[in-house]
């Protein structure tokens, strides 16, 4: 099968959609499928990470969204580039991530004449672009032959504006990496109990509430507790939170910053408890799954995206968002008992197996085939004989 994976976001910048596409690319190519990635990128042609990546748009615009920043391209040459790529490649399926986002996905939908599948990643309480742009966006939404949402929270959002049938296929994680042989950091194995936070220092990530909860825990004095903060943040953001640490008179709070993929795994393995105190806006708890895959107990806010991952698994505790007392109590629950930590960690490691990229890619591939079968009478590009011919060529 010949597959296009389309992203609206700057491929040079790390993010959930970019990582999702990168893993699908690796899995599908490993299965013998032909894959092309279409995405804007601020990198030069020589710096692109894959030989099958089309850089469609190099002028990047930063757009505030969901208490974060999206990096997209609004290049005037998109339409010409997209028409040329689609005409030359003649894909069997075009898989658009955030298909109604400006500007690349909408441009691809405008020109694509094959089977189009869209994955909706975003969750927020409301979506003004969907609300006010619905009359225009509806025509592009109708060009999708299949719709995927990464979680019930993401489905709830998009279905509010564009009612349809959505399949829930979550983001995956690299289970082998998190359960592999990367060791903990020796300097963090010193008798202290490590609480790990992974994420950007945006308000909705809730670090301020974790710091308030940590003050309660440290004032009890029952344990020597260290907080490790890992993630991409600016010096200004770090300074702001360091001031709060000083005001609360907290000890042993370490701001690590951005780390490599491998070092992030080592921080997970070095912690005793993982904490995700986000206040909202999370479509799916990838960081929760990473901690679970590493065999660590999770304390997280009971928000839509996190409940779908953690509820009912026995891998951790959900607490009301912005409730420092409840957060402190849940942390103490695990700090007090190594047996509880081990039990929750083991359950989390088992649950994480269901989110391996191998399983997620297989689910998405099956969805492609279903979408193609349903759309075959209406698709002018799809050709079963052509697909069978390519399969035989690969088999030889």
**Predicted pLDDT at 132:** 80
Asked if pLDDT for residue 225 goes beyond 60, the answer is yes
Name the pairing type of β-strands 60-65 and 68-73: antiparallel
Instruction: Choose the weakest-confidence range: 53-62, 183-192, 383-392.
Output: 383-392
**Predicted pLDDT at 77:** 75
Taking only the tens place, the pLDDT of each residue in 6-24 is 999 999 887 889 999 999 9
Structure tokens of 174?
Answer: 């690299």
**Predicted pLDDT at 386:** 59
Structurally, how many domains does the chain consist of? 2
First vs last Cα of the chain: how many Å apart? 15
> Is residue 133 packed enough to be buried (19+ CB in 10 Å), middle (13-18) or exposed (0-12)?
middle
Tell me the mean pLDDT in the region 373-388.
60
Tell me the mean pLDDT in the region 140-145.
96
> Rounded CA gap, 175 and 173, in Å?
6
How many CA atoms within 13 Å lie on the side-chain side of 82? 26
**Predicted pLDDT at 323:** 97
Shared domain for 158 and 302, answered yes or no, is no
**Predicted pLDDT at 43:** 83
Neighbours of 90 (CB within 10 A): 13
Shared domain for 110 and 195, answered yes or no, is no
Neighbours of 312 (CB within 10 A): 8
Higher pLDDT, 200 or 227: 227
Asked if pLDDT for residue 385 goes beyond 70, the answer is no
Shared domain for 167 and 222, answered yes or no, is no
Its sign, for the CA torsion 216, 189, 233, 199, is negative
pLDDT level of residue 81 (50, 70, 90 thresholds): very high
Shared domain for 247 and 103, answered yes or no, is no
Shared domain for 385 and 326, answered yes or no, is no
Taking only the tens place, the pLDDT of each residue in 117-128 is 999 998 776 577
Structure tokens of 320?
Answer: 């009301």
* Range 232-240 contact pairs with CB under 8 angstroms and sequence separation of 24 or more: 232/14, 232/200, 232/257, 232/258, 233/200, 233/201, 233/257, 233/258, 234/201, 237/201, 238/201, 240/201
Identify the helix (H) or strand (E) that includes residue 165: none
**Residues 116 and 145 sit within 8 Å (Cβ to Cβ):** yes
Shared domain for 298 and 262, answered yes or no, is yes
Shared domain for 117 and 155, answered yes or no, is yes
Shared domain for 327 and 266, answered yes or no, is yes
Phi, psi torsion values for 227, nearest 5 degrees: -105, 130
Q: Which domain, by its residues, includes 300?
A: 175-354
Tell me the mean pLDDT in the region 69-92.
84
Tell me the mean pLDDT in the region 112-117.
97
Specify the CATH number for the domain of residue 312. 3.40.50.2000
Instruction: Choose the weakest-confidence range: 101-105, 345-349, 362-366.
Output: 101-105
**Predicted pLDDT at 123:** 78
Tell me the mean pLDDT in the region 306-326.
96
Shared domain for 385 and 350, answered yes or no, is no
Shared domain for 32 and 137, answered yes or no, is yes
**Predicted pLDDT at 380:** 45
> Rounded CA gap, 352 and 310, in Å?
10
SS3 302: coil
**Predicted pLDDT at 142:** 96
Shared domain for 43 and 127, answered yes or no, is yes
**Predicted pLDDT at 393:** 64
Shared domain for 24 and 108, answered yes or no, is yes
Mean pLDDT of the chain: 90
């Amino acid at each position: 099968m010949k597959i296009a994976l389309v992203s609206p976001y700057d491929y040079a910048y790390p993010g959930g959609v970019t990582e999702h596409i990168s893993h699908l690319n690796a899995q599908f190519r490993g299965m013998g499928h032909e894959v092309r990635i279409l995405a804007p990128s601020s990198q030069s042609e020589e710096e692109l990470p894959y030989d099958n990546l089309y850089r469609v748009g190099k002028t990047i615009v930063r757009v505030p969204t969901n208490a974060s920043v999206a990096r997209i391209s609004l290049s005037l040459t998109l339409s010409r580039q997209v028409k040329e790529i689609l005409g030359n490649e003649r894909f069997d399926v075009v898989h658009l991530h955030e298909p109604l986002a400006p500007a690349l996905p909408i441009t691809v939908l405008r020109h694509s004449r094959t089977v189009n599948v869209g994955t909706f990643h975003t969750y927020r309480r409301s979506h003004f672009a969907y609300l006010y742009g619905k009359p225009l966006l509806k025509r592009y939404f109708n060009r999708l032959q299949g719709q995927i949402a990464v979680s019930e929270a993401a489905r709830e959002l998009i279905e509010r504006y564009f009612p349809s049938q959505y399949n829930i296929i979550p983001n995956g994680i690299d289970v082998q990496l998190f359960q592999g042989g990367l060791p903990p950091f020796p300097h963090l194995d010193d008798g202290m109990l490590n609480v790990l936070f992974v994420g950007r220092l945006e308000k909705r990530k809730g670090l301020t509430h974790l710091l308030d909860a940590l003050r309660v825990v440290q004032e009890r004095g029952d344990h020597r507790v260290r907080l490790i903060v890992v993630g991409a943040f600016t010096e200004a953001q770090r300074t702001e939170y360091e001031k709060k640490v000083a005001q609360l008179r907290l000890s042993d709070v370490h701001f690590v910053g951005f780390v490599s993929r491998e070092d992030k795994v080592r921080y997970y393995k070095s912690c005793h408890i993982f904490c995700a105190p986000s206040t909202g806006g999370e479509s799916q708890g990838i960081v929760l799954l990473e901690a679970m895959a590493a065999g660590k107990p999770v304390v997280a806010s009971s928000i839509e995206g996190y409940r779908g991952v953690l509820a009912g698994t026995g891998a951790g505790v959900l607490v009301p968002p912005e409730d420092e007392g409840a957060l402190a109590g849940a942390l103490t629950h695990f700090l007090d008992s190594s047996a509880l930590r081990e039990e929750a960690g083991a359950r989390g490691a088992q649950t994480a197996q269901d989110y391996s990229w191998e399983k997620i890619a297989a689910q998405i591939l099956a969805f492609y085939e279903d979408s193609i079968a349903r759309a075959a009478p209406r698709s002018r590009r799809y050709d079963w004989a052509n697909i069978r011919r390519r399969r035989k060529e690969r088999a030889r």
